[in-house]
Chains A and B, each alone.
Chain A
């Protein structure tokens, strides 16, 4: 065996269950993080509320944008396998500054997504339990559900991504099936009424304006967040350079189709849309409502598990870089998962939701607040990775015109969306964002002083080791 300079004998992210996860498990991770069932039931109503008849176009525009982002992520995912996902990718294109910003955005985004999934379960699940068992209070039931869910996802996450993948796939398939059945039933029972009387007037129903379509793009985009999460399974996937980019692209495509179908059905069934934006559509079908709520709760449960899988891998990767406490980089002896990171994050995130709910904030408000900040964090991470893609390719000498066009289009659209959101944000959101930026910048200054070399060398990934190379001779 020839020794090749620059090649290590051991991967810097050793300790995870390397190269074992099948393509279906990788796909399940990305699909579950986007929680298509929950998003199908709620997002189309939000988009219809602002875009009216233009809602399908809003979803189409959002889907194209997500496709462009997926292409930029694939540029990296075909060339490197990382536990840190997008931030490890960004490091190879934008260096430490971009990577740090992306890491902060991912930790905030995925952390809030886990918390939002918890609060989604508390909201829909609490209401469902209260409806089925009249004596039980919705708030109490919601809190109890969050605690049960937190323990369950923590155990699944530690047991390993293979088990977690199987659980998520079954749940997601079942809940998407349930919701499709209910939506079709709604369309069949309420469509013949004709005039869409239920949709609020003045929202542009009937006339598809460019402006209303544009306004609908942001909530539509929010339904896709998390589709990139398979990127953090790069170390564990069996053939990461094939399965990870494929999983990300397929997730974007499948969810886009599901959202379009849901939107078209809801537009054709005005009774469903009339039942409001913040509660699931019921029509006259009480059985359908129960089924749909059950599907949504399950979908949020799977989302919590999937987002947690991603969050702990990002923290694990940061710890291995020396930028987070080293304990977070420790893996479970037998299951080979970032168990310490699971143990630290789950109680904190569950506590946020439980305390918020017990303090009297409505579950809707908790859910909405967490998601609106989370969505912006995801947009920031996507923007950074899109900007990084062409620079990375230029650095390794593999730049093509197609990638430049893709990255420029995606970056401009994402930046424009982010600017629009911030300009229209309420005071609470602006203050939260400002606080996050200040904390992030403070962290940067602190790390630069304490861990300067580690910060500059940011971007560890599952490098090729001596074991992977059939060494003939070094040049």
Chain B
């Protein structure tokens, strides 16, 4: 039983690590975001953020929900 619990805990940790892999580190959360890339049919990037650590990361999903009614539409 203990072995099963240990394995489950290990699995949960792995999943959490994977989920965090593309997130900025905690010290980089002070960020500025703006529309990035092309708009329209040829658009690739929809939104990009320069994080506090100076790295540009694309975040299309959150802004869809925030500014465009994507959650409802």
A is bound by B: no
Residues of A within 8 A of B (CB): none
Residues of B within 8 A of A (CB): none
